[in-house]
Amino acid sequence: MQYDVDYIRKQFPALSIKVNGYPAAYFDGPGGTQVPQRVIDAVVDYLVRCNANAGGCFLNSRESDLVINGARRAMADFIGSDPDEVAFGQNTTTLMYQLALALGREAGSRNEILITEIDHEANRGPWLALKERGFTIREARFDTETCTLDMDDFKSKLNEKTYVAAFNYASNGVGTISDVKEMVRLAHSAGAIAVVDAVHYALHGPIDVKELGTDYLLCSAYKFFGPHVGIFYGRREQFEKLPAYRLRVQSGTIPCRIETGTLNHEGIAGASEAVEFIADIGKRFGGSTLSSSGDHGESLTGRRKNVIAGMVAMEQYEQPLAQIMIDELSGMKKVKVYGPPQDHPRTSTVSFTVEGVPADRVAAELGEKGLFVWDGHFYASRLVERLGLDQSGGLVRIGLSPYNTAEEIGRLLEEVNKIAR
């Protein structure tokens, strides 16, 4: 069946709100998507039916354990891992700090960490904090001409002292998708641990941690239709020896060894349902995508297969819409679009500036018309500094989600055109 955006939209109650009489159009997906009713129902259902702490010998606690274990299976289908390689936490930033502080305890003779200028601060700050422990932090260059990571520079900064290489799958600032499989390979050939921030990418394509070979991968459910919950993947061989800070009484087995305190159970229930939502999209609209995409093996079955089909179907819907935005914005005289070259992999996230109008004014004017976009640096602050935009208010960012329509994009482009005139 062909992708039916009306079917998708009907599931999101938030899409019905109005601003000054204008229907709200959410272009803020990279900051967090809206939530379908079935996810809201799953959160409520958890609180009504299962609400209890984990590991008890009574009904609700057992139900609660079932929900959490089910969510690990769902998330494993989302990223292609085993369920016990999936841990939950507050958000990616907090989990990244936990990871960095843990790894920083046992580095042996390796004392360099490679981060990048294209990354969100969540995948920079936790590693920069290890300077205090004597680590040298090196930074792979962001190429401001092409809005891509300079792979030669990345390669040249890996060596026998590199302990960790940490990089994103896709940039939340300019939408560039990096060749993470190659970056993991390069990191491993230098003997380093590879850490992937997949927060922005997770809304825009299927993730396969085994295929990537990464040691760790983090993402956040609120970027793909779930509640505010962080997801942590650790490759078994690494995760089992991760010296995570934990309480004396806390289990040392994976995945619990990094899960401090009581988790956000209702959020986890919702995150699990978000995966079901994506799988449903795959089941309905992904029929042809799996066979045509070709990359994902015939051996896939069940929910994993549907999740991949769903991710592919959403992106196939969004990419042509993103291209229209890029073409139209690029044609506006005072607008400058920032992003990778035409043939480079990218998400449907498009950033730009308007000459003489600060990004927050553009966003505020659009907001008055019910067009919700982000402005500033979105914590991709090093990238924005490198683009020389940190003093002038940064970028305006339009992020497409699978519920955006061509009509919404038309409205948006018309308003940007008026502002840029």
Q: Where does this chain bind ligand PLP (CB under 6 A)? A: 91-93, 120, 122-123, 168, 172, 197, 199-200, 220, 230
Give the nearer residue to ligand PLP in terms of CB position, either 170 or 192.
Answer: 170
Q: Is the peptide bond before 255 cis (omega within 30 degrees of 0)?
A: yes
Give the nearer residue to ligand PLP in terms of CB position, either 174 or 389.
Answer: 174
Buried-state track 283-313, b at ≥16 Cβ within 10 A, e below 16: bbbbeebbeebeebeeebeebbbbbbbbbbb
The answer to whether 222 touches 177, Cβ cutoff 8 Å, is no
Give the nearer residue to ligand PLP in terms of CB position, either 220 or 289.
Answer: 220
Residue 261 C-beta: closest distance to ligand PLP, Å: 17
Residue 297 C-beta: closest distance to ligand PLP, Å: 27
Q: Which long-range contacts (CB under 8 A, 24 or more apart) does 84-87 make?
A: 84/236, 84/254, 84/255, 85/209, 85/233, 85/234, 85/235, 85/236, 85/239, 85/254, 85/255, 86/231, 86/232, 86/233, 86/255, 87/231, 87/232, 87/233, 87/234, 87/254, 87/255, 87/256, 87/258, 87/259
Residue 403 C-beta: closest distance to ligand PLP, Å: 19
Residue 350 C-beta: closest distance to ligand PLP, Å: 15
The answer to whether 383 touches 117, Cβ cutoff 8 Å, is yes
The answer to whether 146 touches 340, Cβ cutoff 8 Å, is yes
Residue 404 C-beta: closest distance to ligand PLP, Å: 18
Give the nearer residue to ligand PLP in terms of CB position, either 163 or 379.
Answer: 379
Tell me the Ramachandran region of residue 418: left when phi exceeds 0, alpha when psi lies from -120 to 50, beta otherwise: alpha
Give the nearer residue to ligand PLP in terms of CB position, either 197 or 266.
Answer: 197
Give the nearer residue to ligand PLP in terms of CB position, either 33 or 306.
Answer: 33
Residue 93 C-beta: closest distance to ligand PLP, Å: 3
User: What is the Cα–Cα distance from 35 to 8, expressed in whole angstroms?
Assistant: 11
- SS3 of 181, please? helix
Give the nearer residue to ligand PLP in terms of CB position, either 124 or 304.
Answer: 124
Q: DSSP for 200-249?
A: TGGGTS---HHHHT-SEEEEEGGGTTS-S-EEEEE-HHHHTT------TT
Residue 236 C-beta: closest distance to ligand PLP, Å: 24
Give the nearer residue to ligand PLP in terms of CB position, either 190 or 400.
Answer: 400
CB atoms within 10 A of CB 173: 32
Residue 175 C-beta: closest distance to ligand PLP, Å: 11
To which residue do tokens 């994993």 refer?
304
Give the nearer residue to ligand PLP in terms of CB position, either 220 or 404.
Answer: 220
To which residue do tokens 């003779």 refer?
109
Residue 123 C-beta: closest distance to ligand PLP, Å: 6
The answer to whether 392 touches 151, Cβ cutoff 8 Å, is no
Residue 180 C-beta: closest distance to ligand PLP, Å: 12
Give the nearer residue to ligand PLP in terms of CB position, either 119 or 266.
Answer: 119
Q: What's the half-sphere exposure (Cβ side, CA atoms, 13 Å) at 85?
A: 21
To which residue do tokens 């942590």 refer?
232
- SS3 of 124, please? coil
